[in-house]
């Protein structure tokens, strides 16, 4: 028979209310009492019904992850990280994919919030980069945390997890420059993503710092996709004065560029160096493996979820900002040019 909260209370020698306070992670419970209750929870294999708990009380114990992103690996990492945090904190997760370009998107989310009684929402790009959308969400009496590309938060609407893509892209480009490359192409992701802008600015900053002229013909617009990497690399390689290296906005684009180079019988890295960004499985599944920037998406997602839950429980100030800087990972797709 499935254990109940009454069974836990009896086994631990405490009241049902005390068990409830421990399950809800309330700070007022003494450590020895908390340990005793959790020992009984584990012993009896007790699993609280979080949905029923939310409906029965005044508090909601679930959060939502709203996303619209073509990068499947990024979404998977985000979901895993948020789920890990929710399990540890006794929260449920509602995953809600939707179209950021939908004209009635705020109505859709408002209906979802009212229907599910969620306590907070976690946003990643492009939703986290839409200030009007974010401001309307904050008016729904729920907490919001955003993951954003940039060095500093663009506003004070919500707490943020910031990813310093600019610095990371600058480090990647400098790695190529230090290996003797001066004609370096850039394959962009979707223009609607701030990460594309930040990574492009980092690329330009490195060139400028090393007195290398920025050539607009070497900057190719695109999307965050393998196919975009293929087409962009072909455009660069077909130039009369083609680049000796390519900076790609993510690993999927870089994998596409590597594929295109192979089709055109360009050897990597002796004839062309290629870099990615994010250190996704794409970077390790290619041959040669990609030089990239490691972005710990799983940990970023956990931090964002923990920050959101802390907001829900404690109502902390909104000026909380945490910063991540992706780190250069040198692999076999880049080499020194003679």
Domains and CATH numbers, the chain: 1-41 (1.10.260.40), 62-164+297-326 (3.40.50.2300), 165-294 (3.40.50.2300)
DSSP assigned state of 289: P
241: exposed, middle or buried (Cβ count in 10 Å: 0-12, 13-18, 19+): exposed
CB 236 within 8 A of CB 207: no
Angle of the 194-209 helix axis to the 165-178 helix axis, nearest 10: 40
CA-CA distance, 283 to 255, in Å (whole number)? 7
**According to the per-residue pLDDT averaged within each range, which of 5-9, 309-313, 317-321, 328-332 is highest?**
328-332
Mean pLDDT computed over 230-234 = 98
CB 224 within 8 A of CB 72: no
Q: Write the DSSP string, 153-175.
A: -S-SSS-EEEE-HHHHHHHHHHH
CA-CA distance, 16 to 10, in Å (whole number)? 8
Q: What is the mean pLDDT of the chain?
A: 89
CB 144 within 8 A of CB 120: yes
Q: What is the dihedral of CA 127, 130, 131, 132, to 10 degrees?
A: -100
CB 318 within 8 A of CB 159: yes
190 phi, psi to nearest 5 deg? -60, 135
Bin 125: left if φ > 0, else alpha if -120 < ψ < 50, else beta.
beta
Residue 57 has pLDDT above 60, yes or no: no
**201-210 per-position pLDDT tens digit:** 999 999 999 9
pLDDT of residue 124: 94
In this structure, the strands spanning 245-248 and 273-275 are parallel
Bin 266: left if φ > 0, else alpha if -120 < ψ < 50, else beta.
beta
Alpha helices, H only, 126-280: 131-138, 165-178, 194-209, 226-237, 251-263
Instruction: Give the Cβ contact number of residue 287 at 10 Å.
Output: 10
Report if pTM > 0.75. Answer: yes
CB 322 within 8 A of CB 163: no
Residue 83 has pLDDT above 80, yes or no: yes
**113-161 per-position pLDDT tens digit:** 888 879 999 999 999 999 999 999 999 989 999 999 998 888 889 999 9
CB 308 within 8 A of CB 148: no
CA-CA distance, 236 to 245, in Å (whole number)? 10
pLDDT of residue 54: 47
pLDDT of residue 28: 65
Residue 55 has pLDDT above 50, yes or no: no
CA 28 to centroid of chain Cα atoms? 33
Residue 50 has pLDDT above 60, yes or no: no
């Amino acid at each position: 028979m499935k254990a109940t909260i009454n069974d836990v209370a009896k086994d631990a020698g405490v009241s049902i209310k005390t068990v409830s306070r421990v399950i809800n992670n309330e700070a007022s419970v003494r450590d020895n009492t908390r340990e005793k209750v959790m020992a009984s929870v584990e012993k009896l294999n007790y699993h609280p019904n979080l949905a029923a708990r939310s409906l029965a009380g005044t508090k909601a114990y679930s959060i939502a992850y709203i996303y619209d992103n073509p990068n499947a690996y990024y979404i998977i990492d985000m979901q895993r990280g948020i789920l890990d945090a929710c399990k540890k904190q006794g929260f449920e997760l509602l995953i809600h994919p939707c179209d950021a370009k939908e004209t009635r998107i705020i109505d859709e989310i408002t209906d979802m919030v009212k229907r599910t009684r969620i306590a907070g929402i976690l946003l990643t790009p492009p939703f986290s980069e839409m200030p009007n959308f974010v401001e309307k969400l904050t008016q729904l009496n729920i907490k919001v945390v955003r993951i954003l590309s940039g060095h500093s938060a663009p506003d004070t609407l919500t707490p943020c997890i910031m990813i310093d893509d600019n610095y990371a892209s600058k480090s990647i480009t400098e790695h190529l420059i230090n290996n003797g490359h001066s004609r370096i192409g850039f394959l962009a992701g979707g223009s609607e993503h701030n990460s594309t802008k930040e990574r492009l600015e980092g690329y330009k900053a490195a060139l400028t710092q090393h007195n290398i002229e920025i050539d607009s013909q070497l900057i190719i617009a695109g999307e965050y996709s393998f196919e975009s990497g293929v087409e962009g690399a072909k455009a660069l390689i077909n130039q009369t004065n083609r680049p000796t290296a390519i900076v790609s906005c993510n690993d999927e684009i870089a994998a596409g560029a590597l594929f295109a180079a192979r089709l055109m019988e360009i050897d990597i890295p002796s004839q062309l160096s290629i870099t990615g960004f994010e250190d996704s499985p794409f970077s390790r599944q290619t041959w040669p493996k990609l030089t990239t920037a490691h972005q710990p998406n799983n940990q970023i997602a956990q931090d964002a979820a923990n920050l959101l839950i802390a907001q829900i429980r404690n109502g902390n100030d909104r000026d909380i900002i945490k910063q991540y800087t992706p780190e250069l990972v040198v692999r076999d797709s880049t080499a020194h040019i003679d």
